[in-house]
Amino acid sequence: MCVPVADGGEGTVETMISNLGGEYRTVEVTAPDGSRIQAKYGILKNRIAVIEMAAASGLPIIPKEKRNVMTATTYGTGELIRAALSEDCDQIYIGVGGSATNDGGVGMAQALGYSFRDQYGNEVGFGGGELIKIAEIDSSKVDPRLKNKKIIVMSDVINPLCGESGAAAIYGPQKGATPSQVLELDVGLKHLAGLIKEKMKIDLEELPGAGAAGGLGAGLVAFAGAEIRSGIKTVLELANFEDKLEWADIVITGEGKIDSQSVLGKVISGISQMAKKKNVPVIAVSGAIEYGAEIIYEKGVSTMEAAVCKTMQLDEAVKNADILVENAVERVMRAIQIGQRIGEM
């Protein structure tokens, strides 16, 4: 049996529609750079809306040469939420992987009616570079439909909002932030957290997952009343994966690269934890296996296999992914056959 899975990043909407049934919607939203794009979200049969912030505010949307983490906004994600609020649904699930942003969810909140003003009473601009200017948070024009929806944040990270393990320090560089910009973004997020604590009585600084998607996790909790959950665990629960393990002899899964981070809320981590409880062996196939990957054995993975087994450029590996993965799985199954023969001796 094939069970599509995702951890809150790209592919989450498609995964949940595949598992549960539903249909896609498309709406025009604001991209991280302020341009207008078309973005999809899903409506499931059980009155649940599913959104990927990556569809509106994701890193791949903007060409590398045009990326600017200081001005990148989550406004489009807020527009996706606003569209979902118009649907006949009780819950909204939001995957927050793959972001281009580091604005603490302020752009998202602006799209939902919040106003963030500086000391002169002017609305601040887009992006994490503007956070330090915020002096006042006005919620008087917030979309009232937010009160009637249960919002679940699906995240594959547990990073706090600020500090050495925070959104800016860990994920800022991969979005193009220089060392000085990382410091500026972190100061801005800390300033925002202080305002939220002072004016809204919500303490976000040490909340696990608050640093997801450049602080969007924190923003959704503060400005949309959301709850943060493990993305992969949520998807597996909705797909009734634990029930499927009752008859399974083995589970084969994987991801692009297996390293020491693979045990921190990623797909492999969620699957192996469930499988370990049922004593079902797990085999992980990935593009590459990095140093430190052996830690996944402690989490329930029985063995792993790399699909790329010779030196090649990433473009070549992606182009030939189908055959590389197929060959890797064949090697795995041949090893299983050897074990079966030894057991019969």
Structure tokens at 71: 């001005």
Return the structure tokens found at 282: 């797990």
Q: What are the residue ranges in the chain where pLDDT is below 50?
A: none
Q: Are 16 and 246 in contact (CB under 8 A)?
A: no
Query: What is the rounded distance in angstroms from the CA atom of residue 101 to the CA atom of residue 74?
Result: 7
- E-assigned strands of the chain? 22-30, 36-44, 48-52, 91-95, 115-117, 136-138, 150-155, 227-230, 251-258, 282-289, 301-306
What residues form DSSP beta bridges with 27? 39
Q: Residue 122 has what pLDDT?
A: 97
pLDDT digits (tens, 9 = 90+) for 3-27: 989 888 888 899 899 888 899 999 9
Model confidence pLDDT, tens digit, residues 235-284: 898 889 999 999 999 999 988 888 877 776 678 888 999 999 999 999 99
**Taking the model in full, what pTM does it have?**
0.87
Residue 146 corresponds to which tokens in the numbers above?
């937010």
Residue by residue, DSSP assigns 222-287 as: HHH--EEEEHHHHHHHHTTHHHHTTT-S-EEEEEEEESGGGGSSSHHHHHHHHHHHTT--EEEEEE
Q: What is the pLDDT of residue 88?
A: 80
pLDDT reported for residue 265: 66
In what helix (H) or strand (E) does residue 21 lie, and over which residues does it extend? Answer: none
Beta bridge partners of 228: 153
